[in-house]
């Protein structure tokens, strides 16, 4: 297969390009379409995408309907990977590369299929000129001819050979051709392994080993901090990059072509564990910034030689999770393959808050399914059932959600774990509330409140009081709901719980025909929402306070709130 690339002409594609490597045929599992769609939404600037995968596809297509984009879908495995990623606008061009024909795209979408063979001589020569210079190519036409013959027109093979030539600019190309002299087969299917074998022979043993370990690391790429957990790897990166066996992107992350990865990776469980432990312990540290009030169980100790990172604050933690998310998901898969259930469970736990912040229940389903599958301890199974139930509820799969949540309740009762039992009842209340089953939701919220009081947990009690107040208000008992909400505020909740409680009280006062009191609560909730930085929550608060503002006669403020809500909603919808 030839490696093809595309360049977006800024005149033709003024809105730029979207690129994703779908990895249809490599040692990594194919990228699920939902992950790719969510990545494109992130690239388009969407900060609060809908949780439903179908709604995400619809949003992606609406965002691209009026744009002029080049969408590059590289290394697709099947048409089903590609179809959700097709943009909605006629001004977009989609380039799909694959090692299969993907006939359904031709039949259903009118795609134009073009079989890409190997590079012809002019194109092969142009590639060498671009890499080693026109003067060197012109000075040794015979050597260039032999190199092209022995690379079989494969761009990747030519790039690797050119990389070797670039390392020593004074060396004649004839020497490179002579080194390849043992290989005379021009069959493209054998050119790359032969060139790789030749290239590896020029490396030192430590360089070959490092390359193999990098190839076996989880995820499509690797950042320098993770490389530090592979002893000796950092020193070899410049050489491996110069000979075109690694590529470094603008952010400093290293990746290799999946064909190279397939041929050079080595099995070293100890090295793999060090890298996965780097991801696990850095994620544990980052998660503590995202949810500082939690007291999570400590993960297994890091392997000797592992060097975890320690993000300094919430912004650094989110940036790290964003950059490493695909590698973290791959680390969960790899830990499951190596039968390290504790690592899988703790990785799933460390990712949960991030997945909530980025609204990625699909990723939570993926990690917690693996955690549940490998869990042997009842406590681990109980938490996995609860988290799976929450993720299913967020995707609208209510039956599966309640089945897992009820199993979590049963296990918590069996173990006598009142804290987890409280969490499970609160989750059931939330899931039932999403289905407008307010009476059932209130019953579970009251059990949650009773348990939190028994546990003497002020933070959980504040959340429980607010949940009980909300469902009580929804059922029409405004006086009792107000009392519960005021008790929640008196318990000095964290900012998130305080904002939610202020909104509950705003709802109560508005429905009690006390608009000024309602407005006061909503204004305080809005201040807290703005400080927390969730645009979707800001939009929700602005929308909810329009009615009370209007009823209280604050018409200009109501209009401003409605206008800002619409503007922010448009930003969320369009990514601008």
How confident is the model over 519-536, as a mean pLDDT?
88
Residues 79 and 140 in one domain: no
Residues 159 and 83 in one domain: no
Q: What is residue 250's predicted lDDT score, i.e. its pLDDT?
A: 85
| End position of a domain, from candidates 201, 229, 259 | 201
- pLDDT reading at 341 higher than 90: yes
Report the helix count and the strand count for the chain, using DSSP H and E.
28, 5
| End position of a domain, from candidates 201, 228, 251 | 201
CA distance 39 to 22: 12
- Banded pLDDT at 568 (limits 50, 70, 90): confident
What pairs with residue 98 in β-bridges?
Answer: 76
Which string of DSSP letters, residue by residue, matches 533-572?
T-HHHHHHHHHHHHHHHHHTT-HHHHHHHHHHHHHHHHHH
Question: Do residues 428 and 402 make contact, with C-beta atoms less than 8 angstroms apart?
Answer: yes
Which string of DSSP letters, residue by residue, matches 442-501?
HHHHHHHHHHHHHHT-HHHHHHHHHHHHHHHHHTT-HHHHHHHHHHHHHT---HHHHHHH
Residue 488 resides in a domain? no
- Banded pLDDT at 149 (limits 50, 70, 90): confident
Residue 545 resides in a domain? yes
Residues 88 and 44 in one domain: yes
Per-residue pLDDT tens over the stretch 163-202: 888 888 888 999 888 887 665 545 545 567 778 887 888 8
- Banded pLDDT at 364 (limits 50, 70, 90): very high
Residue 187 resides in a domain? yes
Q: What is residue 2's predicted lDDT score, i.e. its pLDDT?
A: 24
Q: What is residue 27's predicted lDDT score, i.e. its pLDDT?
A: 42
Residue 519 resides in a domain? yes
Q: What is residue 41's predicted lDDT score, i.e. its pLDDT?
A: 84
Residue 483 resides in a domain? no
How confident is the model over 65-89, as a mean pLDDT?
84
Q: What is residue 228's predicted lDDT score, i.e. its pLDDT?
A: 92
What does pLDDT average to over the chain?
Answer: 87
- pLDDT reading at 40 higher than 90: no
Q: What is residue 26's predicted lDDT score, i.e. its pLDDT?
A: 43
Comparing 493 with 51, the larger pLDDT belongs to 493
Residue 210 has a CB neighbour count (10 Å cut-off) of 26
Domain count, the chain: 3
Residues 39 and 91 in one domain: yes
Instruction: Look up the CATH number of the domain holding residue 46.
Output: 3.40.50.300
Among the residue ranges 410-419, 425-434, 467-476, 525-534, the one predicted with the least confidence is 525-534
- pLDDT reading at 493 higher than 70: yes
Residues 130 and 95 in one domain: no
Residues 94 and 168 in one domain: no
Among the residue ranges 80-84, 98-102, 219-223, 561-565, the one predicted with the least confidence is 98-102
- 457 phi and psi angles, rounded to 5 deg: -110, 100
Residue 80 resides in a domain? yes
Residues 87 and 130 in one domain: no
Q: What is residue 458's predicted lDDT score, i.e. its pLDDT?
A: 86
H or E segment to which residue 68 belongs: none
| End position of a domain, from candidates 177, 201, 225 | 201
Residue 445 resides in a domain? no
Residue 250 resides in a domain? no
Per-residue pLDDT tens over the stretch 102-145: 888 888 888 888 876 678 899 999 999 998 999 999 999 999 99
Residues 86 and 26 in one domain: yes
Residues 21 and 82 in one domain: yes
To the nearest whole percent, how much of the chain has pLDDT over 90? 52
**Full residue range of the structural domain in which residue 197 is found:** 121-201
Comparing 277 with 184, the larger pLDDT belongs to 277
């Amino acid at each position: 297969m030839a490696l093809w690339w595309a360049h977006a002409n800024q005149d033709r594609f003024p809105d730029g390009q979207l690129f994703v490597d779908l990895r249809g045929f490599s040692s990594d599992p194919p990228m699920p379409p939902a992950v790719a769609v969510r990545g494109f939404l992130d690239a388009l600037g969407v900060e609060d995408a809908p949780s439903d995968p179908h709604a995400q596809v619809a949003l992606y297509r609406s965002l691209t309907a009026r744009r002029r984009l080049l969408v590059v879908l590289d290394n697709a495995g099947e048409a089903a990977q590609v179809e959700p990623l097709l943009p909605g606008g006629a001004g977009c061009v989609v380039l799909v590369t694959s090692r299969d024909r993907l006939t359904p795209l031709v039949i259903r979408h009118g795609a134009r299929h073009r079989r890409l063979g190997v590079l012809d001589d002019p194109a092969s020569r142009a590639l060498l000129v671009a890499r080693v210079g026109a003067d060197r190519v012109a000075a040794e036409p015979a050597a260039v001819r032999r190199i092209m013959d022995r690379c079989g027109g494969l761009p990747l093979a030519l790039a690797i050979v050119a990389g070797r030539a670039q390392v020593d600019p004074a060396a004649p190309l004839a020497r490179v051709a002579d080194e390849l002299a043992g290989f005379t087969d021009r069959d493209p299917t054998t050119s790359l392994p032969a060139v790789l074998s030749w290239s590896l022979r020029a490396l030192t043993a430590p360089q070959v080993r490092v390359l193999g370990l990098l190839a076996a690391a989880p995820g499509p790429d690797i950042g320098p901090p993770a490389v530090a957990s592979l002893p000796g790897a950092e020193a070899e990166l410049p050489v491996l990059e110069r000979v075109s066996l690694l590529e470094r992107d603008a952010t400093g992350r290293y990746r290799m072509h999946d064909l190279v990865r397939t041929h050079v990776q080595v099995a070293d469980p100890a090295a793999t564990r060090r890298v996965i432990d780097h991801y696990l312990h850095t994620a544990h540290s980052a998660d503590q910034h995202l949810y500082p009030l939690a007291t999570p169980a400590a993960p297994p100790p890091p392997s000797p030689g592992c060097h975890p990172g320690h993000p300094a604050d919430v912004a650094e933690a989110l940036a790290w999770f964003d950059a490493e998310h695909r590698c973290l998901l791959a680390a969960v898969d790899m830990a499951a393959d190596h039968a390290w259930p504790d690592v899988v469970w703790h990785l799933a736990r460390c990712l949960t808050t991030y997945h909530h912040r980025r609204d990625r229940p699909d990723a939570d389903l993926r990690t917690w399914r693996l955690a549940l599958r490998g869990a042997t301890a009842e406590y681990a199974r109980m938490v996995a059932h609860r988290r799976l139930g929450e993720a299913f509820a967020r995707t609208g799969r209510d039956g599966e959600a309640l089945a897992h949540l009820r199993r979590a309740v049963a296990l918590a009762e069996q173990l006598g774990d009142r804290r987890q039992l409280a969490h499970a009842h609160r989750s059931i209340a939330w899931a039932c509330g999403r289905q407008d089953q307010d009476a059932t939701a209130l019953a579970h919220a009251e059990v949650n409140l009773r348990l939190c009081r028994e546990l003497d947990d002020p933070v959980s009690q504040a959340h429980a009081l607010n949940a009980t107040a909300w469902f009580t208000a929804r059922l029409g008992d405004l006086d009792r709901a107000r009392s519960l909400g005021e008790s929640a505020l008196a318990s000095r909740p964290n900012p998130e719980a305080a904002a939610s409680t202020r909104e509950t009280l705003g709802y109560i006062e508005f429905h009690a025909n006390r608009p000024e009191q309602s407005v006061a609560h909503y204004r305080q909730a809005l201040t807290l929402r703005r400080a927390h930085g969730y645009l979707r929550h800001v939009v929700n608060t602005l929308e909810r306070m329009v009615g009370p503002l209007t009823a209280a006669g604050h018409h200009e403020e109501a209009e401003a709130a409605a206008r800002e809500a619409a503007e922010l909603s448009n930003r969320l919808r369009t990514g601008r």
